Amino acid sequence: MTTLNSDVFIIGAGCSVPYGFPTGAMLMQELKDFDYKDRVEYTAQLLLDRHYLFDLYPEHLHITFDGYKEKARQIDGYDRRLNSEKQTINNIISSIVKDFAKSIRHSMMVSTDEFLKNRLNQEKLVEADFGKRLIAREILMAEKESENSYIRGGEGKKKERWLGNIDWIQHFLSRIDQQDKWEEILKQTVFLTFNYDRVLEYCIFLYLTSDKQYADADAHAFIKEMQIHHVNGFIGPLEEIPFGAVENGKYHEIAGRMATVWEKRQNRDESEKAKYQRFLNNAQRVYFMGFSYIPDNLESIGIDRGAIIIRNANVYATAMGLSSQNRLRISSYLDLKDFEKRNEPEPMPEIVIRRDPFMTDFQYQQEYKQKEKEVKEQIKRNRIRYEDRVLKDASAVDLILDYYTFS
């Protein structure tokens, strides 16, 4: 029987992809392709289209856009204010955006985390801050788009959108919903997520308000009591920054909450790491889902090579689309069995018997047979053990369907 406080989910970007969110590599490409815009020459450009920097730097840009186009000509001094805002935007572009855009477009880094790592020195901190603000805006845009089950695509065709898709969170909640103690299970299950987005919290919010008829405030309070830990920070609580709230006016605060794994390592909070290690030590089941298995990320939550801390737990891990060499690396680090090799016979290790001068042939044969028996029993124990320590070429939803059970 699965007991409470025994499941730990370690969640990477791949878990959010089915809901319309990018992986680290996809986000890096989005920032390479982003339209950073040139200098603003005419204030009319500000009126025609809301400049993205109004979202990112509300502490410096103060125009309120609600109905401003219609009111612009009636407001005393509005032209002067527009000119001032135009100058501020151009200053941000020339001092921060221009260099950032050029650098990221030519960068050889795979992910945004790796790119920002090289901008953590004092001279480049404003670029790192801009990068985090832009990442936050892209994530909030993805949240906003994912809210609708369907949007209209080209030529009036329906295009599937993301929260309408049935994937791992829905199946996870469906299985919990069948339990009498569903509230306790939700509050005791531990989620260690490396994602900045809040798709998990939002789906749980929808579950609580739609399926369990919770009031919004009660749902927010319930989620706050859950063990959802964003290891590298996140956009913020849903009650503070609603899901998909692109124009939230708080990007400076959001950027301050977001950290790369290298910043975490530099400013290591040992008490935070110790908390994650307590969760892992107490875990009966650990699920790695949509995770990239970067050693720095694993070490940041207290899992060193060999994964001794979760040696006594059942471990189920996704490796969707990864090469055999990559799976070998992960299996070795976490002490798992590659599911693809589950039927391969275990190699019989060489049995060496140290024979002293007075050992008879009969004694030698007896000792050899005993050692052989011990080795075979160990192979059998390993085979049984690795039935529940699996690395599988599968998605997060497959892992939930195959291994998340209450019995």
2-11, 65-74, 112-121, 215-224: least confident range: 65-74
Whole-model pTM over 0.95:
no
Which pLDDT belongs to residue 36? Answer: 94
pLDDT score of 77 more than 60: no
**Residue linked to tokens 């309070």:** 221
Give the integer Cα–Cα distance in Å for 134 and 268. 25
pLDDT score of 4 more than 60: no
Beta bridge partners of 389: 315
Write out the two tokens for 5.
Answer: 């406080």
Is the torsion defined by CA of 295, 299, 300, 302 positive or negative?
positive
**Range with top average pLDDT, 154-158, 162-166, 256-260:** 256-260
pLDDT score of 73 more than 90: no
Amino acid at 255: A
pLDDT score of 140 more than 80: yes
Gyration radius from the chain CA atoms: 27
pLDDT score of 204 more than 70: yes
- DSSP class of 305: T
> Parallel, antiparallel, or unpaired for β 337-338 and 227-230?
unpaired
- DSSP notation for 176-198: HHTSTTHHHHHHH-EEEE--S--
Q: Compute the average pLDDT of residues 286-293.
A: 95
77-91, 152-166, 247-261: least confident range: 152-166
Which pLDDT belongs to residue 48? Answer: 59
Report all structural domains of the chain as residue ranges with CATH numbers, in order of start: 7-18+167-344+388-403 (3.40.50), 25-158 (no CATH)
CA distances from 271 to 274, 275, 300 (A): 5, 6, 12
Which pLDDT belongs to residue 156? Answer: 40
Residue pair 35/49 in contact (Cβ under 8 Å)? The answer is: no
% pLDDT > 70, the chain: 84
Which pLDDT belongs to residue 74? Answer: 47
Write out the two tokens for 389.
Answer: 């320590």
